[in-house]
């Protein structure tokens, strides 16, 4: 049976945090190891430039950080194609063709684009590349004829726009492009809250635990976590709902009976925040220590990491160039064939 193609990736604007790990990285590794898929995993440096064009050094610096995080969680270049977006010329050309198939008003209606424009306080000073990045994402997906795109729930509008562009192209030029489907995280694990209780863990909010954090840094962050502000004394009954420590335990601790026991004790009173934070620290460190160790090993030879990305980008170039050739054939643009 032919393997289904997966396209997924991350913007290189810094190291990856445990929100990325829970939201997508673990699932990518699982799909990679199943042997049923052909994963293409992109470091989306061009997309990162849409709102960081004046700080390209940030993107260059972050490129290796993201690559190290990928390798650390066991994404394997022998089983997944790890590549760099800017090194794939076909993506830019496909993007140009697709821009003619979508209107400005349709882009303005995209809920994800609207939310991110508001979050970044662009107002009307929106970089054109940022405004049109749903089209760029369509190029990324279709260049590899991806059947599946693992994303967070908030990216569903982006995928729907990609499907619209694919349907429009195919209706005009013939059935060339593959219409993608989304693969979403398990319920409750699509978005992990920040250390401060904010609904989203984010680099910009400074409320994240990074995959590369050492044990001391991890301990400091866990001990600073938001719990129940009304749980002042150990003997006081505490609230579990909205308590970040218990949210993390639900996600990371496989001993569900133990977590339930702690919840019951906390609600009844007699269990202090320090004690549950220390327990969470043990759970998180058990999960992250092997990742941290693998990352440190790969970091000893950064040229080898770049060679892996080069090899992956070479393969991605071959596949995307073939798709571009088919697209230009369908559009009648291969004049000199």
Alpha helices by DSSP H, the chain: 18-20, 26-34, 45-49, 56-72, 89-99, 104-108, 111-119, 128-131, 133-143, 156-173, 215-223, 244-252, 256-268, 273-299, 302-331
What is the domain range of residue 98? 4-191+302-331
Quick one: 52 and 170 in the same domain? yes
Q: Please, are residues 180 and 151 in contact by the beta-carbon 8 Å criterion?
A: no
- Look up the CATH number of the domain holding residue 10: 3.40.50.620
Cα 65 from Cα 63, distance rounded (Å): 5
pLDDT at site 188: 56
Containing 100, the helix (H) or strand (E) segment is none
- Look up the CATH number of the domain holding residue 291: 1.10.240.10
HSE value, Cβ hemisphere, 13 Å, CA-based, for 190: 13
Residue 87 lies in a domain: yes
Task: Write the pLDDT tens digit of every residue in 181-193.
Answer: 988 876 655 578 8
Q: Please, are residues 224 and 305 in contact by the beta-carbon 8 Å criterion?
A: no
Of 305, 294, 293, the C-alpha closest to 67 is: 305
pLDDT at site 117: 80
Quick one: 121 and 232 in the same domain? no
Query: Which residues, at least 6 apart from 16, have a Cβ–Cβ distance to it below 8 Å?
Result: 10, 25, 65, 66, 69, 210, 211
Quick one: 68 and 122 in the same domain? yes
Quick one: 152 and 232 in the same domain? no
Residue 120 lies in a domain: yes
Q: Is the pLDDT of residue 314 over 80?
A: yes
pLDDT at site 78: 96
Of 24, 143, 5, the C-alpha closest to 75 is: 24
Task: Write the pLDDT tens digit of every residue in 113-133.
Answer: 888 888 777 877 888 888 898
pLDDT at site 246: 96
Residue 27 lies in a domain: yes
Residue 94 lies in a domain: yes
pLDDT at site 44: 95
Residue 203 lies in a domain: no
3-state secondary structure of 149: strand
Quick one: 312 and 223 in the same domain? no
Quick one: 311 and 279 in the same domain? no
Q: Is the pLDDT of residue 262 over 90?
A: yes
Quick one: 239 and 139 in the same domain? no
Q: Is the pLDDT of residue 2 over 70?
A: no
Quick one: 160 and 47 in the same domain? yes
Residue 197 lies in a domain: no
Residue 198 lies in a domain: no
Quick one: 19 and 164 in the same domain? yes
Radius of gyration (Cα) for the chain, nearest Å?
A: 22
Q: In what order do the strands lie in the sheet with 4-10?
A: 81-84, 37-43, 4-10, 148-150, 181-183
Domain total of the chain:
2
pLDDT at site 17: 93
Query: Which residues, at least 6 apart from 331, have a Cβ–Cβ distance to it below 8 Å?
Result: 97, 173
3-state secondary structure of 334: coil
Residue 313 lies in a domain: yes
Q: Is the pLDDT of residue 111 over 90?
A: no
Between 53-67, 68-82, 198-212, 253-267, the lowest mean confidence (pLDDT) is in 198-212
Quick one: 249 and 107 in the same domain? no
Quick one: 287 and 306 in the same domain? no
Q: How wide is the angle at C-alpha 205 spanned by C-alphas 203 and 135, nearest 5°?
A: 60
Quick one: 182 and 309 in the same domain? yes
Q: Please, are residues 266 and 240 in contact by the beta-carbon 8 Å criterion?
A: yes
């Amino acid at each position: 049976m032919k393997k289904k193609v997966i396209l997924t990736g991350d913007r290189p604007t810094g190291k990856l945090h445990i929100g990325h790990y829970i939201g997508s990285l673990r699932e990518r590794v699982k799909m990679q190891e199943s042997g049923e898929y052909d994963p293409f995993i992109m470091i989306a440096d061009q997309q990162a430039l849409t709102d960081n064009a004046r700080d390209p050094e940030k993107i260059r610096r972050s490129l290796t950080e993201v690559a190290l995080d990928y390798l650390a969680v066991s994404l394997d270049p022998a089983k997944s194609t790890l590549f760099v977006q800017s090194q794939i010329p076909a993506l830019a050309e496909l993007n140009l063709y697709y821009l003619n198939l979508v209107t400005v008003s349709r882009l303005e209606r995209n809920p994800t684009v609207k939310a991110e424009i508001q979050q970044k306080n662009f107002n009307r000073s929106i970089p054109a590349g940022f405004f049109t990045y749903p089209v760029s994402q369509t190029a990324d997906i279709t260049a590899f004829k991806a059947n599946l795109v693992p994303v967070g729930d908030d990216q569903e509008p982006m995928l729907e726009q990609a499907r619209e562009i694919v349907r429009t192209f195919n209706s005009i030029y013939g059935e060339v492009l593959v219409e993608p489907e989304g693969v979403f995280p398990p319920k409750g694990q699509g978005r992990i809250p920040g250390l401060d209780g904010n609904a989203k863990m984010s680099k910009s909010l400074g409320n994240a635990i990074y995959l590369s954090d050492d044990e001391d840094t991890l301990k400091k962050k866990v001990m600073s976590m938001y719990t129940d502000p009304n749980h002042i004394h150990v003997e006081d009954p505490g609230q579990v709902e909205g308590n970040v420590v218990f949210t993390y335990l639900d996600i990371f601790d496989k001993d569900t009976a133990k977590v339930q026991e702690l919840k019951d004790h906390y609600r009844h009173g007699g269990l202090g925040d320090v004690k549950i934070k220390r327990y969470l620290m043990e759970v998180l460190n058990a999960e992250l220590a092997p990742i941290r160790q693998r990352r440190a090993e790969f970091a000893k030879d950064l040229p080898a990491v770049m060679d892996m990305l080069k090899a992956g980008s070479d393969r991605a170039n071959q596949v995307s160039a073939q798709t571009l050739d088919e697209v230009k054939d369908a559009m009648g643009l291969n004049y000199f064939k």
